[in-house]
Chains A and B, each alone.
Chain A
Amino acid sequence: MHLLVQSIGFGVAAGAVLALGAVGFTLQFGISNVLNISYGSLMSVGAFLGLFMLGLGLNIWLVMVIGGLAVGACSVVLNRGLITPLVRKGMAPFGLVIVTVSAGIVLEYVIVAVAGPATQTYGNRSGATLNFLGWTLTTAQVVIFAIAVVLMLGLHLLLTRTQLGRAMRATSANRTLARSCGIATSRISDIAWFMSGTFCGMAGIALAITIESFDFTLGSIFLIPMIAAAVLGGVGQPYGAMIGGLVVGIVSSVSSAYWDPAYQSVVAFGIIIVMLLVRPRGLFGSSTATRKLLA
C-alpha cells in the first residue's frame, strides 16, 4: 500500500510537467488547428536557454519565467514566419505537419551546432526532500506542481473571464465567423502561439530540473506522452490536457512500481487506447462539441 501511495505521488510530480506541456500544445492546436510537432524541439530550446541563463547566475525560477517567455516569442516567429504563410498558400494540414516535423529537426540541430550533442545539466536543483501524505517529493517537484496549478488557474480565468479569452474561444469555434464579427483572428492566433510557446518553454525547463541531465532530444522524447495527454483529455481542451497529463504520469508511475518498468509506456498508452475506444472525444470532449471549453 505504501508503494502504491508513493507511486501516485511520483506520478503526480511527473504528470505536472507533462500537463504543463500538454496544455500549451492543446491550446495552440485548439486555436490554429495546426499539429505542431516542432513543439518538442521548442521544449529543448527552452531547456538550453535555461542552461545559458543559469550560467549568467540567474535564479532558477526566474530562469523558468524568462525562458518560457523567450520560447513564446520563438513560437510566434515560427507561426508568423512559417506556418501562417503556408496556410495562406493553402497548404493541406498534412503538409503543415511535415513542415513542423522539419522545423523541429532543424531546431534540434541548431541546438547541436550551438551547444553540442553532449549531455547537459543544471546541477542538482531538487532542493530538500519533503514527506507528506505518504508521498516523498523534492522541493523542486512541489514548486513545479504549484506553478502548473497557478498557470492552469490563470488560463482558466483568462479563457472564461476576459475579453481576450472570449475572443480566443470564438476564434477556436469558428475562425471565419469570428473574423466577420470583428475579432482580429491573426492577432488572437499570435497570442495563442505565444502562450503555447511560453507553456512549452517552461515545461522544458521544468523537465530539465526534474530529470537532472538532458540533451537536445529532451523535448522530442516527451512529445508523444504530451500529445497522448492532450488527446486523452480531448484535443483542444486545456482542462482535459491537465487531467490527461496527470493520468499519464500516475499510470506510468504505478505500473512501473508493480510491473516491468520497461513497459510503463505500454501500460499508459494501452489504457489511453482503451479509454479512447470507449470515449473517442477524450475525457473532456463532449459528444456535441469537441472544443466545448474553448468554444
Chain B
Amino acid sequence: MHKALVLPLVGVMAVVAGCGSTASTGKAIKPGPINIGVIAPFSGPAAEFGTLISAPCYAAGDLINQAGGILGHKVQCTPVDDTGDPADAVPNVTRAIATISNFDLAVGLETNTAATTVPLVNRAQINMVTTNGLTNYDTTTDKYFWRLTPADDANGAAMVQYAYNKGYKRIAVVFENNSTDTGNTPGIEKAAAKLGVKLVTNTTIPADASSYSSVASSVISLHPQAIIFDADPQSTATFLSNYSQLTGGKLLPMITATDSLTPDWYNAVSAAVGTSFIFNKVDLVGSYFSTTTQAFYTYRNALLANPKTHSLADTLATVGPPASIYDGINIMALAMLMAKSADPTVYNAYVNDVVTPKSGAVVVDTFAAGKKALSEGKKIQYVGVLGPVTFNKYHNFAGAFAAARFTGSTTSVNAAIMPGSEISKLLG
C-alpha cells in the first residue's frame, strides 16, 4: 500500500476509534418523545388498575415536560396492556418492546403479571420501576429492576403489627387465592408468632364466588376480634354481605391493604354493607409517606392539574404504589440527565447516585429543581414524596408503614404510622 494512502487511512481509523470511545453515552435518542411504558392491565376485570397506575406517570411526565423534558426530548406515558394475566401479558409486552420507539423506562409490572413481565423487560435492558409485591424479588439480581414499595410479606407483617397495636389478640385471616393477596401470608404468620397474636383461621377464598356464607359462618364460629382480609371489590362485597346477614348486621373490624383504597372497592362495599362500616371499621395498611411535604403538594397538584387524573387525585395521592411510580420516574429522569443519556444500559449506573446523600449535594424534591442544579454543575440528592430513599443491593427500598382510613369515596387519612425497622424485625 502506498504511504500516501496509508496515512489518511490511519487518520480515518483514528476518527472512527474516537467516535467509538464516545459510545459510552449509549445509543442515541431517536427523534420524538422518550416513552415510559406503563405496563398494567388496561382491559379485563382489573382494567381500573391500569388507570390508577398511569396517573402518577402523567403527573411526573407533565412536570418533566414543563421543565423542558429530558436531554431535549419530551416524555410520554404509553399504556402497555398486560391484561392482568401473566400469559396474555407476554405477547403484548414483547410487541411493545419491539415496536415502541425510545422505550427507555417501564413502570407498573404489577404482582399478577410480574413473573412474566419483569424478566422480559429486564432482558430487553429497560429500567423498570415496579409496584409488584412478590417476595422473590427481595433479593433479585436483575440489573434493571427497581422497586420503591415493600414486598407483600412486609405488608402482611405490618397488618399484624397494626392489629396488635390496636389490642386484637385473636384474628381471622381471609385472603383471595391469588399471588397478590397470599403474598402477605408469610409475613402475617411470622409477625403473629413473634407478637403472640393468635390466628384463629388463616384461609383463602376463590374470587367471585356466588356465596361466601359458609366461610363467613366458619369465621363467626371462631370468635375473632378482627379480620385481616384482602380480595377484589366484588368478592369483598359478597363476603361482607354474607357475614352481615349471619350476624344481624354486625361486622368485625377489618384490616386490609391499601390496594383496596379505590373508588371501585368503596362503591362495591358501601353498597353491600354501608358507609358507616367503611369509615369506622376498615383500616388500610400500606407504605407510609408524609402528606405535608412540598414534594407531596407538587405531586398532588400535578394529579389535580391533569384532566385525566383530576378526579383520582385525592385517593391516589395518599397511596404508596402510585407515589413510588411518581418518585421512580423522577429518579430515573434525573439519572438520565446525570448520565447524559436515556439509554437504560448507561443511566442505570446513575440511579443510586440520584438518591444517595453526599457532601455538598443539593437536596431536590422535583425533577425541575434537580435539572437546574445539575445544569449548574452541582451534585444532587432527590428526596421526593416517599422521603429519603435508600436502595439496597437488590435495588429494593421499603420505608415506613401506615394504617389509613377512608374519609370519603376518594379520600383517606393516616391513622397510625409504623417504622420500617419495626416491621423488618418481625420478618427477621
A residues bordering B, Cβ < 8 Å?
3, 6-7, 10-11, 13-14, 17-18, 112, 117-119, 121-124, 126, 129, 136, 138, 207, 210-217, 221-222, 249, 252-254, 256-257, 260-262, 264-265
Contact = CB atoms under 8 A, between A and B. Distances in A.
Contacts of B264: 118-119
B233 A213 contact: yes
Nearest to A221: B208
B213 A10 contact: yes
Contacts, number: 125
Contacts of B209: 211, 252, 264
B213 A213 contact: no
Contact of A118 (B48, B215, B248): B48
A129 B245 contact: yes
B20 to A, nearest CB: 51
Contacts of A119: 233-234, 237, 264, 267-268
A15 B245 CA distance: 18
Interface stretch (B142-150, B198-206, B282-290): B198-206
B203 A260 contact: yes
B221 interface: yes
Given A254-B214, A261-B206, A117 B241 contact: no
B304 interface: no
B45 A217 contact: yes
Contacts of A257: 214-215, 217-218
Which secondary structure characterizes the binding site on chain A?
Answer: helix
B87 interface: no
A121 B271 contact: yes
B415 interface: no
Given A123-B271, A257-B217, A210 B234 contact: no
Contacts of B263: 118
Interface in B39-70: 43-45, 47-48
Given A124-B271, A261-B204, A262-B177, A215 B241 contact: no
A121 B237 contact: yes
A134 to B, nearest CB: 11
Interface in B386-405: none
Given A117-B48, A213-B272, A214-B234, A262 B206 contact: yes
Interface in B242-299: 245-246, 248, 263-264, 267-268, 271-274
A254 to B, nearest CB: 7
Contacts of A121: 237, 267-268, 271-272
A262 B273 contact: no
Nearest to A210: B210
A213 B210 contact: no
16 contacts: A10-B213, A14-B210, A117-B43, A118-B48, A124-B271, A126-B245, A129-B245, A138-B245, A212-B271, A215-B234, A217-B44, A221-B208, A253-B213, A260-B204, A261-B204, A262-B206
Contacts of B274: 124
Contacts of B218: 3, 257
B139 interface: no
A257 B246 CA distance: 14
Contact of A117 (B47, B208, B268): B47
Contacts of B210: 14, 17-18, 207, 210-211, 222, 249
Contacts of A129: 245-246, 248
Contacts of B213: 6-7, 10, 13, 136, 253
Given A124-B241, A211-B237, 7 more contacts: A119-B264, A210-B211, A212-B238, A212-B271, A215-B45, A222-B210, A261-B204
B214 A212 contact: no
B45 A10 contact: no
Q: Which of A13, A214, A215, A257 has most B Cβ within 10 Å? A: A215
B229 interface: no
B212 interface: yes
B208 A6 contact: no
A264 B207 CA distance: 11
Contacts of A112: 43, 47
Given A119-B268, A126-B245, A212 B177 contact: no
Contacts of B267: 118-119, 121, 213
Given A129-B245, A214-B234, A261-B206, A7 B217 contact: yes
Q: Which of A17, A119, A124 has most B Cβ within 10 Å? A: A119
Contact of B214 (A124, A213, A253, A265): A253
Contacts of B233: 119, 213
